[in-house]
Amino acid sequence: MTRTRNPIQLILDWDGTLTKKDTLHLVAAIGYEHNRDKNLTPWDDIVQAYISDYSQHKAFYTSSTESRKTVTEESEWLASLKDVERSSIERVKAAGIFKDVTKEDVISASRSAVRDGKLQLRPGWRKLLAISEASQQQSSAAASLSIISVNWSATFIRACLQTALSNPSASDAKFMDSIPVFANELPLEEIQRTPYICTSADKLARFEEVRGEDSCTTFYVGDSATDFDCLVAADVGICIRDDPMGSGQKELKETLERLDFDVLRLSPEAFTESQGGIGVVGGDRERRDRRKIWWVAGLDEVSKFVGNC
């Protein structure tokens, strides 16, 4: 196999990708704990209201799931969920769940979630950081690793990773601080003043901002529908699949099958087949075949694969 010699840029989703499970309920718990003396709307009610909005939107959308056969049609559907997501945020804001929650509250709760085992990162995550740090040092790239998430708190994400490092070296700590984390932020009122990342299209917009030049091989790793556009746009798109698969993983799998993607176990052929041979046979992005996505059972596979690049 001819391996790429290009600089590597790794872009990762957070919930269900870097972490074993979704963490939004842990972020919500910060607000409920801080305002435990108030009669707040139960979280289950917030979730059920979201599901109701989603189901209604889906029922009246211009095309059914089965009729969508192209990437463009699927991307348009995913982007159309913006109003559903915004309505959910407005519902949470109106309920006052995060009223008076501070950045310090978020950091403290993040540390506790990691130390108490409520939040678990996937095996292989630290090796990915080490590989990315080495790649950044060798290529003098501005950022060899980035995180893009629809999570409500970038502070939560960064604090969880910093806590999980556990006694990092000075260079590890410096690299961690340099990692761009594109997510939303508490208090939720900030969303009115900053771009709200809540759909696949929003994540793609951030992806296009941070992806490298043509000389850089860009990997994107995700696990659910909000990762669809980034997976397709990446030089090498990789999806996480547990056994058994979670609901988001199943939805993404069904979407890729419906759109006639080849979804293959990550292998050395990702260099010679994915995106028309990125970093091996050359060619611009417009000419590359975009019908292959790769899957892995965990981040340890990704770290081993990228480490051999």
DSSP code per residue over 166-197: -S--HHHHHHHHHS-EE---SSGGGGGTS---
Q: What's the CA gap between 251 and 270, in Å, rounded?
A: 23
Query: 292 phi and psi, to 5 degrees?
Result: -125, 130
Q: For 170-178, what is the mean pLDDT? A: 80
**Token pair of 294 as six digits:** 């790769």
Q: What's the CA gap between 298 and 20, in Å, rounded?
A: 9
Q: Which residue from 269, 250, 248, 252 is spatially nearest to 261, judged by alpha carbons?
A: 252
pLDDT above 70: percentage of residues in the chain: 85
Q: What's the CA gap between 137 and 121, in Å, rounded?
A: 25
- 146 backbone φψ class: left, alpha, beta (φ>0; ψ -120 to 50): beta
Side chain identity at 125, as an amino acid letter?
A: W
Top pLDDT among 273 and 277 is at 273
Q: Please tell me the predicted confidence (pLDDT) of residue 279.
A: 35
Domain housing 164? 8-307
Q: Please tell me the predicted confidence (pLDDT) of residue 133.
A: 78
Does residue 3 fall inside a structural domain? no
pLDDT confidence of 270, banded at 50, 70, 90? confident
Tens of pLDDT, residues 1-42: 344 456 788 999 999 999 999 999 999 999 999 999 999 999
pLDDT confidence of 49, banded at 50, 70, 90? very high
127 CB-near residues (< 8 Å, 6+ apart):
299, 300, 303, 307
Does residue 50 fall inside a structural domain? yes
Q: Say how many domains are in the chain.
A: 1
Tens of pLDDT, residues 119-169: 999 999 999 988 887 766 666 554 589 999 999 999 999 999 999 988 777
pLDDT confidence of 285, banded at 50, 70, 90? very low
Tens of pLDDT, residues 183-227: 999 877 655 556 789 999 999 999 999 886 666 789 999 999 999
Does residue 1 fall inside a structural domain? no
Does residue 2 fall inside a structural domain? no
Q: What's the CA gap between 177 and 165, in Å, rounded?
A: 12
CATH number at residue 157: 3.40.50
Cβ atoms of residues 99 and 33 within 8 Å: no
Q: What's the CA gap between 215 and 162, in Å, rounded?
A: 31
Does residue 139 fall inside a structural domain? yes
Q: What's the CA gap between 161 and 166, in Å, rounded?
A: 9
State the chain's mean pLDDT as an integer.
Answer: 87
